[in-house]
Amino acid sequence: MRVGIIGHAIQIEPENLDQSVEDLVFVTVKKALRDSSITIEEVDTIVQAGDDILDGIAINHVYTVEPAGSFLKDESKVERDGAWAVHYAMARLLSGKFKTAMVVAFSKGSQCGLSAFSGMSADPFYLRPVGADSHSIAGLQANYFMRRTGLTEADFAEVARKNRSNGLSNVERTMAGEAGQYSVEQILSAAPIATPITELTAGRVGDGCVVLLLATEEYVKEKKIQASWITGVGLSGDAYYPTYRDLSGLKHVEIAAGKALQMAGRTIEDMNLLEIYDFYAHQELMLCETLKISKQPIAEMIRSGETGKNGRIPVNPSGGAQCGTILYASGLARIMEAHLQVTGRAGGCQIPGAKLALTHAQAGLGMQSGIVYVVEA
């Protein structure tokens, strides 16, 4: 059995002062329903993805039950990126009990800030007191990776240059002000965050919501709806403590991708593009190395343009998470971008003839956990 993606919507901005979280969810769900041409009454089950800490409210999703259209419906929540909520929704659809599902992922990162939020993921006795957060652990990770591979800060800047340039052709689904034409020198000279990370080799956390509508193959064929298909999924996680794992590598992503490709009956060579969640530029190179997308040395791969929009294997043609991040929704956005690519609806960032895409989402400090999907036409 396959699960189809039949509708989508995204709202993303640096700071949304006009809408509450409830408003944000309501507006985005309405857009997704219009895109899918089905009504809320036809949605059988809804899975939300959000976080109590970001909203400062215990069991935060009870406030968005009605805006998400899930009042008196089968409804649940995943306190992780919406990419994991898709996995949960797929299980519900494949149980045979439901024909349609909606995944709603949201956050207003501007209310909290990345450091305060991500620091709550760190151990409260040993890591949090020394300031461990997303930036500091990613800085350590980048340094370990550089030492093992011989890559330089300029290589990371080249990734950021590519992605921010890609985002210019995807303005409707990227955060205002994040895409742009930058030189490697400009990126390297941007304000430092945590060496070697600068403000232009890291994404920016903003406010937004992403919604995907899913359906069983039987329902899609019965209703004659255009869909892309999720044909493979794999997920894996590494040790909780950053220093208990090899920060220079991503063995767990290799495991997750292997399971997803095996389930789909595909290989990485079959993929027409990758949409991977790289909040920091060095993480894209780590993921490309782990996924073994090129026979070239990792530095040559990026310098040669192999992963550019016109390259052999485009990576993040949408601009990726570096062109704007919604906490708890940017992994879901990667699946959305893959869906749009393989159905020929990606607009200015469309890869001609794309029919197969691999997507990845991350969670935890230093990409502790990962989930991988294969999406095809």
* φ/ψ of residue 310, rounded to 5: -105, 10
Structural tokens at position 286? 């780590």
Q: What is the pLDDT of residue 37?
A: 86
Distance CA 153, CA 156 (A): 5
Instruction: State the DSSP code for 350.
Output: P
Quick one: pLDDT band at residue 61, thresholds 50, 70, 90?
confident
Q: Give the per-residue pLDDT at 56.
A: 84
Q: Is the predicted pLDDT of residue 60 greater than 90, yes or no?
A: no
Q: Quick one: what percent of the chain has pLDDT higher than 90?
A: 93
At 57, is the pLDDT very low, low, confident or very high (cuts 50, 70, 90)? confident
pLDDT at 55 (0 to 100): 84
Q: pLDDT tens across 340-372, in order?
A: 999 999 999 999 999 999 999 999 999 999 999
Tokens, residue 255: 């495991």
- 3-state DSSP call for residue 146? helix
Has residue 54 got a pLDDT over 90? no
pLDDT of residue 299: 85
pLDDT mean over 24-51: 96
Task: Name residue 235's beta-bridge partners.
Answer: 371
Reply yes or no: is the peptide bond before residue 196 cis, omega within 30 of 0.
Answer: yes
- Cα separation, 157 vs 63, whole angstroms: 41
Q: What is the pLDDT of residues 228-284, one digit of tens each?
A: 999 999 999 999 999 899 999 999 999 999 999 999 999 999 999 999 999 999 999
> Residue 154 pLDDT more than 80?
yes
Q: d(Cα 85, Cα 135) in Å, to the nearest integer?
A: 25
Question: Mapping DSSP to helix (H, G, I), strand (E, B) and coil, where does residue 107 land?
Answer: strand
**Of 172, 371, 158, 145, nearest in space to 277 by CA:** 371
**H or E element, residue 222:** helix 217-223
Question: Cα 338 to the chain's mean position, in Å?
Answer: 11
- Region 90-113: what's the mean pLDDT? 95
Distances (CA, A) of 283 to 142, 279, 299: 8, 7, 13
347 conformational bin, left if phi > 0, alpha if psi -120 to 50, beta if neither: left
Rounded Cα–Cα distance for residues 45 and 72 (Å): 10
Quote the CA–CA distance of 28 and 11 in Å, as a whole number.
6
**Band (204; pLDDT cuts 50, 70, 90):** very high
The confidence score (pLDDT) of residue 365 equals: 96
Instruction: Check pLDDT > 80 for residue 1.
Output: no
- List, for residues 297-327, the tens digit of each pLDDT value: 888 898 899 999 999 999 999 999 999 999 9
Look at residue 210 in the predicted model and tell me its pLDDT: 98
188 sits in the region (left: phi over 0; alpha: psi -120 to 50; else beta) called alpha
Decide: residue 237, CB within 10 A, 0-12 exposed, 13-18 middle, 19+ buried.
middle
pLDDT of 88 above 90: yes
Report pLDDT for 21.
95
Q: What is the DSSP string of 135-176?
A: HHHHHHHHHHHHHHH---HHHHHHHHHHHHHHGGG-GGGS-T
Residue with token string 């294997």: 313
Q: What is the pLDDT of residue 150?
A: 94
Query: What percent of the chain is predicted at pLDDT more than 70?
Result: 100
Please name each of the domains of the chain with its CATH number: 3-113+206-226 (3.40.47.10), 123-200+229-376 (3.40.47.10)
List the structure tokens of 275.
């949409």
Question: What is the chain's alpha carbon radius of gyration, rounded to the nearest angstrom?
Answer: 19
Mean pLDDT on 171-182:
96
For the segment 119-136, the average pLDDT, to the nearest whole number, is 94
Torsion sign (Cα): 241, 291, 372, 345: positive
Of 214, 185, 270, 273, the closest CA to residue 93 belongs to 214
Instruction: State the average pLDDT over residues 32-60.
Output: 93
Q: Which residues, listed in sequence order, are joined to residue 5 by a DSSP beta bridge? A: 214, 228
